[in-house]
Structure 1
Amino acid sequence: MNKKQKLAYCLIIIMIISLVPHFSRGASWNRINKVITVMEQEVISAEDAPELIIDLVDELEVGDLFYLQLSGAKWLDEPYISTLIGAASEASLETKLIGSMLQIKIQGARLERGTSIRIPMALQMVDEISFVEIISNNTAVTSGRYHVATAMNYRGKVSTHQIPTAVKEGEMADLWIEEPFSKAFSKAMNQGKQGVIEIQLTHQGFSFDINTSTPQLIGIKGFEGINSGADAIKQIDGQTLEILLPDISQAKYTGGFILSGIKIIEENHNNFQGKLAVKAKGDLIQEATVEVLEIMDYTVDLEVKSKKVYSGTKQEVQFALVEKVADSLVKERVTYFEFGNGVSLETNTQGKVEVTMNGEVMVCEPIKKGNLVIGFKVQQLPKEASRYDFQVTLMIPHGTQGNIELVVEGRSLIKTLTAKVLAVDTPFQVEVEPFEVRIGFKDQVGGKIEIRELAPGEIAQGKTIILQFEESGMKFTKLPQITVTEGDIRLGTPVWQSNRLEIPIVRRSNEASIITISHFTLTADQTIASGNYKLQIGGTGFSELATEQSLDAIWQGDFLKVAEENEVIPTPPPVMVTPIKFTIGKSHYTIGSTNKSMDATPYISNGRTMLPIKYVADAIGIGGECILWHPTTKTVTIKANQTITLQLGSKIMKIDGKTYTMSAPPEAKNGRTFVPVAEITRALAIQTVWESSTKSVIFYIYD
């Protein structure tokens, strides 16, 4: 071992030695074996007193002296018999009172290490708390101060734990009579205090009735098993009872009694409603006035744990129907529970609503509004209960906002109950710039959608955002531009599925995000009907309720706007034939300056100009032999450069067998078939101008 190793070894030895506890003269382990509670000014005999225990860890020599000083108490003027454990038989302690100090002197033989000294703290309490202080006097006894006893008033307290309710009369609450510390009542009675408690009603319109009830006094805690029946309860007058406490002299621990089965009745029809109280007094208790019974009308409360939630979620809702007064509910009659503001309840495979009531699942009949299950009904409530705790699952679709109320009614209730169960807000904001579409143009670009999260992570990871466009016949030819303009949500590759755009969510956001979708590209040929076409924005990314069949849209409205026929005014062509003009309400039309008679007049229906198909075809040179009427199917067929088929009452138009949807169906009037001018002129590739001053439609056929 070299010098450095030897030095390190020595340092380690020194550190270990420094950490080992060591004792010098004047050290002992001291404690009080128990701290007791007693009456004020009580004398504590050596037999009942706590012991001061001094365990020596060093020797005490013969003649050594140490002292005990009391505070909050005084020593009794009697010999103090101390005990030595583990000492030589000839060793003893001499005790001597010197003023307020007790002197302890070692006699006969030295007290070795490990000896235990036991000194009873026989004393009389002076203050609320007493302490003993050890004065070492340079001996092997450690100085210290220790709590010995606490003095309390012997009077117990009277209280109630729960106040019952009743209509006119009923059993009052149990009265709890509790002593403050062990043997307090018996010590007080040994000093001449009476074990009688007087109970007096404070309201003049009511009285006690112990003849039709079963009053009893039941011992609790340290008095368990010490009971009394009606013989210990005496009615002094209508409003006063006297309670005689049984013998408790043998009880060792703190105890008390419960007074139960005391009935209170109405003396006259005073229509009182409120809380009744009794005044309790006696030698052993603190005088107290406590409320024991609430008189009220039949009452049922609807208790609800309301909370704030977002739409597009499923939420557990908890509420309770509480019978505040017995028999307030007619439990064998049906009770209806309905939720408002568009929410619905889940149902099982049999179409029933599963409801948890008082911890057990029960199957209830649904309450429907259209196809929506908005509530359930309970045919009969359990008779043995007075509180019914319910739990159900509500589905809160997007578009729901504000308070969701629960309404409880039925023949089981005196009146209808209403309470707010949820406050619903939306987790998203959507801004839309519609796409203005022109007929007959390819690859038109437009429209913008901005979706804003109002809190991080609200768009679900692994789910899908869906833009569902109304069927229109227009073709989206490219993917739109999709960007995350704020936040950190991560999107996957979008896909067109017919008229549906699907955007997968790769990762949810940690910062509230904004998704912008713009530059939609589509083609609208001449067969597209004018009007507005709707868009729904939804999907599983936004809602727990979304399915393939139902998006649970966070936004829906008009997005593709195809101009009405009368709003489209094309530039007149440089070369054209003579114009053809049909005027609303006129039974003739013109080709150039020539008038042609008709047996039908054009009209406007729901904002659309309706023209007789026969005369439109005649005007543009399609002969009558090319227009065929099929009375069985109520179908018109026009054979020109292409075959066009129309059916009365149907929006479907077929051109060479291909199906198109019109903005309005053909109509029959005065034996003639009328069609929307926009539909037939587009089908025949004719352009029109609306002349508002004369309410006329002008056709142009280009060379």
Structure 2
Amino acid sequence: GFSSGSVTIGKILTGGGSTITAASPTSITEAGGAVADITLKEDVAGALKVNKDVFPDGDTVKLVLSPGFTWDTVTLIPQGGFRSDSVDKAVHTEKNGCSALYLKINTATTSQPGQLVIKATVKADEPFTTARDVKVTYGGTNPGVGGEKIAEVTVAKYLVSGLTVAAKSTLDAVAGRLNQQIGNFTIAEGLPGDLASGRLVSFTLPEGARWNRLPTIAREAGNGELRLYGTIDDGRTVVYAVDRVSTARTIFCFKNATVDLAVYVPDELKVTVKGPGINTEVAVANVQAPLTLSAGGGTIRIGLQEQPVGALTIQENLVGALRARDTAGKRAVLRLSLPERFRFSKKPTVAVTAGDLELGDEIRLEDNDRTLVIPVKLSSATAVEKPATTREVTGEENTAETVAEQVGSTLTVKDILLTVDRMAPEGDVALDVSGSALSETESLFPSSLNKLTCVLARCLTAAPVGIRAEVVFTIGSTGYRVGGEEREMDVAPYIKDGRTYAPVRYLAYAVGLTDEQMHWDGENRTVTLFTGERLIQFKVGQKAYVLQGVAIPMDVAPETVNGRVMLPYRYLAQALGLEVRWDAENRQVIIR
């Protein structure tokens, strides 16, 4: 599968005065075969001395094969000062199991240096599953050699059937950009004809990437041919078909391709290669995110308004990362979006704190105050040097070096106040950063792939409110007492079927809950209470209440009186974890 001709693959001048070279490596398989011609040449007449002891011991000259291969047939062609009977040969196995060709110098040269051409075949001791080089190590104790391991030459390439994929280059690309150049890669046949007629080879990009300019095919070796079959998977996969089966081992190089990238794409862009007997990946680009987000964090609680969180820093990782114009030529914007049930209490303060990026004046809140929209007036054009960092360098002596990094501009969003709905979930509050200023590929990929995300804050349940004083309700009276304070309600407690009913809302007020911690769902006739530790739901007409998602049975159901949900004290006190006592003499319910 390789071109004919002679090329020096290895050449060493030994201390004793002999040289070994090899022609171009041949190709062999598990059946073995001929290896490249090896030429052994004296630099001066008489350099290789006659063997003094019993051959092959003493003043040895030997050529040792790579492990797993054995010398098969060997022909010596003497030239120069060597005559036909000047050199003999024998094959022996070394102590390490390697096959060695020993040369016996019968007669030393006198008038001119000797030269010996070795034509040989080798056998593979057993089939290999991976390709490898077949090498010969030249050495020996003969003074004309100079040592046991003097030179190493490659004489053959052991080939196995099957395709292999390799990266030739890996380039840098930017997420959220169109037409990003990627590195070149190759597909090589192990043996001629590995790519059979009609077979297909496909290259698939990861989610968040699609082909823009398809790869150009260049044949680096052999005579096989591929043709474009088509693209599938919405542009993520390109498929090629075998147009001509090779008779010489073929290597295809796929080069000069470009891709379109979403903002959310792997840092290392890999192409998945599938074909006859192969399913592997090859890295073609290192992808840089256009921005780095850093949030100051903070804790907020469910059902509360105007809660402050730390500032957000938006760092351009490269100059011009934020665009001033979208693909239609309109003013580009950056969008900072909160999850459902969270909103900005007011417009935060936005400022460029480093670099020459310029923002528009129309910074505003949209989407019911869930989204902060930041127009970009002018993209950054000048790099900013980040503060230098020091890192250790390991070597003979541990040293430190200062590393400076060039970046784009920096935005700071501060004075962030959040209002949290009573039905908001606990956990991290993820802020999504998107918009035409960030991505050129909004129209190509789903919005879920064209955004960056950071944790802006942590949301907890509302702060627990323990009962601060004794609470007293009197049957038939709209007045109730919290500690020493007298209060009024619009419906009086009553007794029904031996149960003492009271309005849920005023009982909740009495133990310290606020309107923000109560929610009435008129459609489902359900009242929900939020405390720092509990979520409680009562539904009118249903003989069970829900505590932390678990149904707790009751022997009576809540009912409405004058628009108020009425419930026996005992169940509400039980749900809130409070102590309740009945004063029969004064017809009062006392809660502690």
TM-score, structure 2 normalization: 0.47
TM-score, structure 1 normalization: 0.41
If you compute each CA radius of gyration, which structure gives the higher value, 1 or 2?
1
Q: Which has the higher contact order (CA 8 A, sep 6+)?
A: 2
